[in-house]
Chain A
Amino acid sequence: MSKISLIIQREYLTRVRKKSFIIMTILTPFLMASFLIVPTYLATKEDTQEKIIAVLDKTNITDGAIPQTDYLKFEYIDDTEIAKLKENFEQSGYYAILYIPENILISNKVQLYSNQQTTMGVNQHISNALKSFFTQIKLKNENVPLDIMERIKTNINVDTIQWTSTGEEKEGSAEIVSVIGYISGFLMYMFIFMFGAQVMRGVMEEKTNRIVEVIISSVKPFQLMMGKVIGVALVGLTQFVIWIVLIFGLFYGAQLVLADNDKAAPSITQNLMNPNESGMNIGNTVDATQLQKMLDEITSKFETINFPLIIICFIFFFIGGYLLYASLYAAVGSAVDNETDTQQFMLPITIPIILGLLVMINAMQTPHSTISVVFSIIPFTSPIVMMARVPYGVPYWQLGLSAGLLVLTFLGTIWMAAKIYRTGILMYGKKVNYAELWKWIRYKN
């Protein structure tokens, strides 16, 4: 086995065998999923309790207008009972009292009395049922025939269609695209920071442990540096791949479970895409075909997103951006004796990364603005900003230019870092400044 692959292997194995790595890699997707699942779960959980609502109907026409569900029942009562109820509500076993006034057709208002805050699901259920019931009443009062009523039921959805340069049409979903752009851009930012810092700490560990002199009597300093940089990159890629697999696994797993259960609450994905509508159907019976339709719609929206391109771009820009920054981090680690001394050199590395993050957040909304385009091509910010733009579709010349510049730049930073590294790792007890680093870069050997 060649020496550099031995180094890569050690750097990789010591990191992936760490408990903290294993825990974080496995737990993160579950944590993310649980952020989505837990609220939904809690919402459905609550509704499995049977609730009985007393209805005092002054119009005397709504009996049966509000459909019962497994967990939500309606009992009609009259005026004599209401007096007793008011005195003794807690013992009555009712969840709430629904009061439908006589003048509802004018006021458009009903009242729901309870000793606790009623849930959104219950409110929506009542509102929807009464809305369609009284609409029909009003239409009937206007003498609209029943068949016309059926025909004029309208529900408008906005489907966003994207034109490609070839004139092909793609159905898209703005929300999904921007969420995916944000997640991949932020992940890029996190990875560069996290794994760059790991490289720096690794270099400093070797320097302060003084093991570096033993190692570079066996291998070239450049081999040691690149072995570490590549080893840590593989750790990052491993984590990324595991996350992708787990997230997609959880997503489709959840869908399958939901599809099996025809009485289930709205799917997690729907909750994510349309937070405003969430809870609307809680407590209602969602039949299998309706759910199936919804899932099909989401899946078809997902299919319009070019996941292979996003994943390939992520891996490429991660490797490029990481190599660029990790080599700089390695140079900083080699130049200092302890963590506190790193501060002065960290700033110029940190600023472009954070700038990239800020532009990325902006690019989520305006992916094709001049500033987004420019920063997605400049190598120091391109990995982060480009990832936010990729899901929207980026012209190939921009991707190519950005990638090409990134490769040239990381070759440059690696070359420069290697020079600093070679001198730095054997330099102890010296306060190093930028002038000194410049001198090291110019050393011949």
Chain B
Amino acid sequence: MSDFIQAKNVVKQFANHLALDRVSLNVPEGSIFGLLGPNGAGKTTLIRIINQITAPDEGEVLFRGRKIVANDVNEIGYLPEERGLYKKMKVGEQALYLVQLKGMSKTDALKRLKYWFEKFEIQSWWDKKIEELSKGMQQKVQFIITVLHEPKLLIFDEPFTGFDPINTNLVKNEIIRLRDNGATIIFSTHIMASVEELCDHIALINRGKTILSGNIDEVRNRFKPDSYEILFRGETENLKRALNSHIIVQEEPTRGDVKHLIIKKNQSESLRSMIATMNEAVDIVSFAEMIPGMNDIFIRAVEETNQNNQI
């Protein structure tokens, strides 16, 4: 899979702070790429540079392997975090205007708008003014406007805020469908559950630097603590004695007669022999490796770099 977007050593300096400090990342074609980072990390600046809203001070952005040019914006659909439409303008007219600005012809735009309005069952909104719609409804309109010209690259900044669970699902499925149809998607959010659910690749930016990037499974494996969770019936003491070469990390509260332990495996011992030992001592109800959630990874990675920076 080739990279659709590559950022190479991008630097952006604002009056009194360095927003991006040699940021590089590769967004593989046809993937959903999670762009993560704490508030003020520089995500929006990077997104604006990809959209050519601002230009980098140093470094470059490659679009399908060549330097990005002005006309490439027609191939990009961008849903910024701060949404906004003309309040006094009618929904249909506004949608038509904004997608024509992305280079679509009027007839194509009309045809495709009709399709999407039917799909989202909002045909009756066409002649309403934006200010007559609720915030969630406005978001829906803006989502359609973003994807309507079928761009090769979609950039969603917090696409789910303001949606109820039903609409969140609707939009989520649309994003997956767009990816399956070949679009590359850059997805910026603070909701780590949706990152785990949607993203194929991630990059974590903190203080203008990329601190973590790669395939999401690889990243999660990298942060694997080598810990296991066991649910069992029997004497806790028996199990502890049998596992004396391993570290008992934590004893969780008992649920009914099922007891609950978290164990860190001794690196020298194999998983099989550990399970065998445990099997002798107690009745195992369940046994699973603990894969860290993106939430934990996010917090750990960010805190680590913050500590390093303080030293």
Chain A: residues with CB nearer than 8 A to chain B? Answer: 1, 3, 6-7, 10, 14, 205-206, 209-220, 426, 439, 445
Which B55-105 residues sit within 8 Å CB-CB of chain A?
55, 57, 70, 73-74, 76, 78, 80, 82-89, 97-98, 100-103
Chain A residue contacts of B85, Cβ below 8 A: 209, 211, 214
Docked CA distance A214–B102 (Å): 10
Q: How far is the CA of A320 from the CA of B145 in the complex (A)?
A: 37
* Complex contacts, B78 vs chain A, CB 8 Å: 213-214, 217
**Residues B88-136 near A (CB distance < 8 A):** 88-89, 97-98, 100-103
Residues of B with C-beta under 8 A to A439: 15
Contact partner of A210 (CB less than 8 A), chosen from B55, B70, B80, B103, is B80
Contact yes or no, A218 B97, CB < 8 A: no
Q: Report B-chain residues with C-beta under 8 Å of the C-beta of A211.
A: 84-86
Is there an interface contact between A1 and B100, defined as CB atoms closer than 8 Å? Answer: yes
Residue-by-residue, is B266-284 near A (CB-CB < 8 Å gives 1, otherwise 0)? 0000000000000000000
Query: Within 8 Å CB of B102, what residues of A?
Result: 218
Chain A nearest CB from B67 CB (Å) reads 15
List 30 A-B pairs, Cβ < 8 Å. Answer: A3-B103, A6-B97, A6-B101, A14-B89, A209-B84, A209-B85, A209-B86, A209-B87, A210-B82, A210-B84, A211-B84, A211-B86, A212-B84, A213-B53, A213-B82, A214-B78, A214-B80, A214-B84, A214-B98, A214-B142, A214-B145, A217-B73, A217-B78, A218-B74, A219-B101, A426-B48, A439-B15, A445-B54, A445-B55, A445-B57
Q: Which residues of B lie under 8 Å from residue A220 when comparing CB positions?
A: 70
Q: Is B51 an interface residue (CB 8 A)?
A: yes
Give the distance in Å from the alpha carbon of A205 to the alpha carbon of B70 in the complex.
26
> Contacts A210-B84, A439-B15; is A215 near B98 (CB within 8 Å)?
yes
Q: Which residues of B contact A3 (CB under 8 A)?
A: 101, 103
- Distance in angstroms from B127 CB to nearest chain A CB is 14
| A48, chain B: closest CB distance, angstroms | 50
Q: Which of A14, A206, A209, A215 contacts B101 (CB 8 A)?
A: A215
In the complex, the chain A residue whose C-beta lies closest to that of B142 is A214
Supplied contacts A10-B97, A213-B82, 8 more A-B pairs, CB within 8 Å: A6-B101, A14-B88, A210-B84, A213-B80, A217-B76, A218-B73, A218-B101, A445-B57
Is the pair A218, B53 in contact by a Cβ cutoff of 8 Å?
no
A220 to B73, CA, bound (A): 10
A217–B89 contact, CB under 8 A?
no
